[in-house]
Structure 1
Amino acid sequence: MEFDINSFLRELSIAAVPFLMAITVHEASHGYAAYMLGDDTAKRAGRLTLNPLKHLDPLGLLVLFLTRLFGWAKPVPVNFTNLNNKKYGPAIVAGAGPTANFITAILSSGLYNIIINLNVSQSLHSTLIVPLALMALFSIQINIALGIFNLIPILPLDGGRILQSFLPLNAAYKFSQTEQYGFVIIIILLLTNVIDRVVFPIINVLVNLLT
């Protein structure tokens, strides 16, 4: 099959803005939640911002180029020892990212349904409405995917931080020691199609509900 560079760039341009928005609200929400709970590490690092360039990770962007769906940003620095709520503060900070993604997905769903029901001329429909609708649709997909994926209960993902906060002290300490193997575990789950079988169906159900 011949590679169509123009088609690829067109699809990438549509995906880029929603992707940057998704990772930005995700990471900024972590920083804001931590700041509200007493930790100003993210603020001092200049990460309490909705400027996507402050959160962009070149490798994560490259993965977006290759997959056109998944990618990641630079994690916002958080010092959990500074949080006012030592027990559940980390869970609140961790949960803020996926929550922001789900809210963005719901807002994108509203925008998507408004756009597709606009009554405009055929020329305006093809040049403006279709690209905007595709951007809103991709925003729904990427925010749901990012939110659900990060809720997998494996450290260093947000789901792992949330689980750790609710475990008894001894169990939480033992669980924290698994963080050094977290990315290896995630890669194994990807290679063995466990995430495809467990996570993707949840993502698909939620996307279908919003579209």
Structure 2
Amino acid sequence: MNYFLIFLFSIPGIIVATTIHEFTRAAVSTALGDTLPKNKGRLTLNPFNYFEPIGFLLMFYSGGFGWGKPVETSALYYKNRKRDTLLVALIPSVVNLVLGFIFLILQSKIFNNNMYLAMLFNYLCYYNVGLAVYNILPVAPMDCAKVLSVTIPANRYFQYLQYEKMIQLIFLLLLFVGLAGGFFSAIINVIIQIMSMIL
């Protein structure tokens, strides 16, 4: 398959994965009392509200590491700051995994006789699972960086913040030379294989 077709079929996968991820963040934070996402007009499934060109292109290049336009949230509204911050950080990736599983079912059980639809749902599955996997990284702007803020001692977190940009640059360098991408692609494919065994 040529790169044009790969890019063409990747577009819906990336857009759906990032849109659902950020919308879920907005919806969960809103449900926990945060008014910021709604006030900023981010409580919507409109993909144009979540499109971020650099994150989009990087996600295509890396096969999963990228981002949509982040939704601003405020922990000041949460009744339980630690618990609710974790929920807002983790639930979007859980939703991506569930959505990836649904797309895999559609690909393998319903559209497997149509090559193009099967390819479309294959990429929809892959990028949703990929986004969830990459969000376990403590690299900004991935969600695990937010998890650290409420799961490690404050002094350790401030030390992390001092090196945050350096960690990000090192990871991007490893990604561009192919060392990180291959490792995480293997993890993504293993998860998809496990999902396939469940079907």
Smaller-chain TM-score range?
0.7 to 0.9
1:14 paired with 2:9, answer: yes
Residue 203 (structure 1) aligned to one of 184, 188, 198: 188
CA distance in 2, matches of 1:180, 1:89: 26
CA distance in 2, matches of 1:153, 1:91: 14
CA RMSD of aligned residues (A): 2.5
Segments of structure 2 that go 5 or more residues without pairing to the other structure are none
1:103 paired with 2:98, answer: yes
CA distance in 1, matches of 2:29, 2:148: 18
- Corresponding residue of 1:152: 137
1:25 paired with 2:15, answer: no
1:49-88 → structure 2 map (5 Å cutoff): 49-63=44-58, 67=61, 69-70=63-64, 71-88=66-83
- Between the two proteins, what is the percent identity of the paired residues? 27
1:168 paired with 2:168, answer: no
| Closer, same or farther: CA 177–34 of 1 in aligned 2, 3 Å | farther
| TM-score normalised by length of structure 1 | 0.79
Amino acid corresponding to residue 54 of structure 2 in structure 1: L
Segments of structure 1 that go 5 or more residues without pairing to the other structure are 118-124
Checking the alignment, whether the CA contact within 8 Å between 1:37 and 1:85 is kept in structure 2 is no
- The count of corresponding residues between Structure 1 and Structure 2 is 195
- Corresponding residue of 2:41: 46
Residue 168 (structure 2) aligned to one of 175, 180, 183: 183
CA distance in 2, matches of 1:64, 1:171: 30
| Closer, same or farther: CA 182–28 of 1 in aligned 2, 3 Å | farther
Checking the alignment, whether the CA contact within 8 Å between 2:13 and 2:126 is kept in structure 1 is no
